[in-house]
Chain A
């Protein structure tokens, strides 16, 4: 059973701080890694994806992947109250696979 683990939170950070969200996965063969943001009562939306070890930056968001440690993280710089949401880590198990396994999500609260 492929597993994706996230700390459920809530994670509270002050406005302007860096929020760090973490995710571990069990399948060492996993190839693709995604971060989705979900506001309460809304559908998930993709904010970042990463395929290779290292960092990937997009605006205030940085995804970090360490396949050896089976660990992926999302950093949000200059956190804003509008970043308050649940962040879902999703892992695609193997090359060419459509199947995503989602973590249960980490709830982030950015305090003004």
Chain B
């Protein structure tokens, strides 16, 4: 089954404790992206990657890191989480054409205390 797998589904952590949210897709997609979704602000892009070893900033990259060492994986790293990073996070992937749909993971609800 074609899917984007995100883990964990829920995460509660404390300020400053490094964490990683994993994302993996099995569709051989070249494009992968991370979004955060906050009430009243909609979906905002954090980082995206157009291929292995190619990443770029989205609209809200501050406080986040990503890596794309393999085509299927695109982890999101919060080196020193802060409460304003409490949000619902989605990983997504798509084929290279840019005219195809985004496949979304099931989301990670992160709470930073």
Q: Quick one: CB contact mask for A26-37 with B, threshold 8 Å, 1 for yes?
A: 000001101010
Bound-complex Cα distance A36 to B90 (A): 14
Number of A-B contacts (CB under 8 A): 53
**In the assembled complex, B74 has its CB within 8 A of some CB on chain A:** no
| Chain A residues near B40 (CB-CB < 8 A) | 8, 104
Q: How far is the CB of B108 from chain A (nearest CB, A)?
A: 11
**In the assembled complex, B106 has its CB within 8 A of some CB on chain A:** yes
Those 10 A-B pairs whose CB atoms lie nearest each other, nearest first: A104-B42, A43-B104, A46-B101, A102-B43, A98-B98, A98-B31, A32-B99, A97-B98, A43-B107, A102-B42
Bound-complex Cα distance A71 to B94 (A): 25
Apart from A44-B90, A45-B104, A98-B96: 14 A-B pairs, beta carbons within 8 A: A31-B99, A36-B102, A43-B106, A88-B43, A96-B98, A97-B98, A98-B31, A98-B98, A99-B45, A99-B48, A102-B35, A104-B40, A104-B41, A104-B42
**In the assembled complex, B112 has its CB within 8 A of some CB on chain A:** no
Bound-complex Cα distance A104 to B107 (A): 17
**In the assembled complex, B110 has its CB within 8 A of some CB on chain A:** no
Question: In the complex where A49-B101, A100-B102 touch, is A44 in contact with B43 (Cβ < 8 A)?
Answer: yes
Q: Quick one: CB contact mask for B85-111 with A, threshold 8 Å, 1 for yes?
A: 000001000101011011011110000
Does B42 lie within 8 Å of A105, measured CB to CB? Answer: yes
**In the assembled complex, B77 has its CB within 8 A of some CB on chain A:** no
**In the assembled complex, B50 has its CB within 8 A of some CB on chain A:** yes
26 contacting pairs across A/B (C-beta < 8 A): A32-B99, A34-B101, A36-B102, A41-B107, A42-B106, A43-B104, A43-B106, A43-B107, A45-B104, A49-B101, A88-B42, A88-B43, A90-B102, A92-B98, A95-B98, A98-B48, A98-B50, A98-B94, A98-B96, A98-B98, A99-B98, A100-B45, A102-B43, A103-B42, A104-B40, A104-B41
